Amino acid sequence: MSKRDYYEVLGIDRDADEGDLKKAYRRLAMKYHPDRNPDDPEAEAKFKEASEAYEILSDDDKRQAYNQFGHAGVDPSQGGAGGFGFEGNFGDIFGDVFGDIFGGGGRGGRGGPGRGSDLRYNMQLDLEQAVNGDTVEVRIPVLAVCEDCDGSGAAPGTSPTICPECQGTGQIRVSQGFFSLQQTCPRCRGQGQIITDPCRSCGGTGRREKRKTLSVKIPAGVDTGDRIRLTGEGEAGAHGGPPGDLYVQVEVRDHPIFVREGRHLYCEVPISFPDAALGGELEVPTLDGRVKLKIPPETQTGKVFRLRGKGVTQVRGGGVGDLLCKVVVETPVKLTDAQKELIRQLKVSLEQNKRHSPKEKSWFDGVKDFFDGLKP
């Protein structure tokens, strides 16, 4: 069966640069990676197809040969430059593309120890925790150093030996036609060493999955989207390499009373019609407790009162924010007949003098002028 055009596989133009190439491959690899699609042969085939296209097009020599001769230019059976084992081991390609997301996952050097992968933990916090700070325990699954072999991958009492094929470099050079190419050593798979007697506990990987509990210190003032880095708390590195980091991604839950915008807090305070008309004093909540809010007479709905220093101290500095309280005049409900009669009497009294409702008078005057302007 003939292969699809590599550019078509990745969905890019033939003049796409390295950044576009990586972006296209990363999108497909994240979608079809076998870890995300277990027992899905079709997804695995698409992942292999995308990985093969990326390996060819990301190499300048192979890409030039492919552009000039098509698949024949990179097919080793026809003297081409490519064909370096697409049997399903795409760790190197995948690590090259995704290692720059958090700065991890790549090798420390050819044949050397590999840095462990960075991890991400999504943490939800209450607003009070985010504003005041807290210490939260999390339990996460990680690949940790195998204690039995101390991360070497070799059975206790034995050690890995240098690969005789690549002399420990993890790479070999092959000549095909006019090209001299460097590729991963097939014998040691790029590790530079061979384990003849693998550790039974970890199967020769040097790492075992375990769960560990960490105490994460949440600084005061964090907000949704902030990220806390715990250095060295990611996965253990391969073959004794340094560990990756753990990134805690913060998400603040919605609060039943307050809404946060930067360093300020906002809330709505319902007040009765008598308090709005005659004035009064209310208790309003803050994150530090209750405070008195004085309502002046003739307060209109929508009026905003500012309580200085009752907001948030931002984690990056900039001073303490304020609490802004928006009052909403509440219309009374479930009135008794006697209460309704009192309101009718008040209405009659108020209608005798329009100065009691200046906004209403100006609005109706504006409406009258509008309709008068429509008359021919």
Query: For residue range 98-132, what is the model confidence (pLDDT) as tens digits?
Result: 433 333 334 334 445 678 889 999 999 999 999 99
Residue 92: helix, strand or coil by DSSP? helix
Give the tens place of pLDDT for each residue, 137-180: 999 988 888 888 888 888 998 988 888 888 888 888 877 555 56
For 316, residues 6+ apart whose C-beta sits below 8 A from its C-beta are 221
Give the tens place of pLDDT for each residue, 197-237: 999 988 888 888 889 899 999 999 999 999 999 999 998 88
Same-domain check for residues 326 and 345: no
Same-domain check for residues 212 and 130: yes
Q: Which of 39, 67, 49, 37 is nearest to 1 (CA)?
A: 49
CATH number reported for the structural domain that contains residue 53 in this entry: 1.10.287.110
Same-domain check for residues 248 and 262: no
Rounded Cα gap, residues 24 and 11, in angstroms = 7
The residue to which tokens 């292969």 are assigned: 3
- Percentages helix, strand, coil for the chain (3-state, rounded to 5) are 30, 25, 40
Q: What is the mean pLDDT of residues 356-370?
A: 65
Give the tens place of pLDDT for each residue, 275-295: 999 999 999 999 988 999 999
361 pLDDT above the threshold of 80: no
Question: Regarding beta strands 259-261 and 264-272, do their DSSP bridges make them parallel or antiparallel, or are they unpaired?
Answer: antiparallel
The residue to which tokens 């948030």 are assigned: 312
**Contact (Cβ atoms closer than 8 angstroms) between residue 242 and residue 298:** no
Torsions phi, psi for 182 (to 5 deg): -110, 130
Same-domain check for residues 217 and 121: yes
Same-domain check for residues 233 and 347: no
Rounded Cα gap, residues 351 and 364, in angstroms = 14
97 pLDDT above the threshold of 60: no
Residue 359: helix, strand or coil by DSSP? helix
Q: How confident is the model at residue 370 (pLDDT cuts 50, 70, 90)?
A: low
In a domain, 178, yes or no: no
Angle in degrees, CA 125, 129, 132, rounded to 5: 150
Nearest-10 crossing angle of helices 60-69, 41-57: 100
State the pTM of this model.
0.57
In a domain, 282, yes or no: yes
> What's the domain range around 134?
112-160+195-253
For residue 193, the cross-strand partners are 162
Q: Which helix (H) or strand (E) holds 125?
A: strand 119-125
Same-domain check for residues 199 and 267: no
Same-domain check for residues 117 and 247: yes
pLDDT at 326: 95
In a domain, 107, yes or no: no
pLDDT at 58: 87
In a domain, 78, yes or no: yes
Helices (H) and strands (E) in the chain, counts: 9, 15
Rounded Cα gap, residues 154 and 316, in angstroms = 47
> Which one of 75-79, 91-95, 120-124 scores highest in mean pLDDT?
120-124
pLDDT at 138: 92
CATH number reported for the structural domain that contains residue 273 in this entry: 2.60.260.20
pLDDT at 369: 63
- In angstroms, the Cα distances linking 113 to 13, 153, 237, 239, 243 are 37, 12, 7, 5, 11
Residue type, 22: K
91 pLDDT above the threshold of 60: no
Rounded Cα gap, residues 86 and 37, in angstroms = 19
In a domain, 166, yes or no: no
Residue 7: helix, strand or coil by DSSP? helix
Q: Tell me how many domains the chain contains.
A: 4
56 pLDDT above the threshold of 80: yes
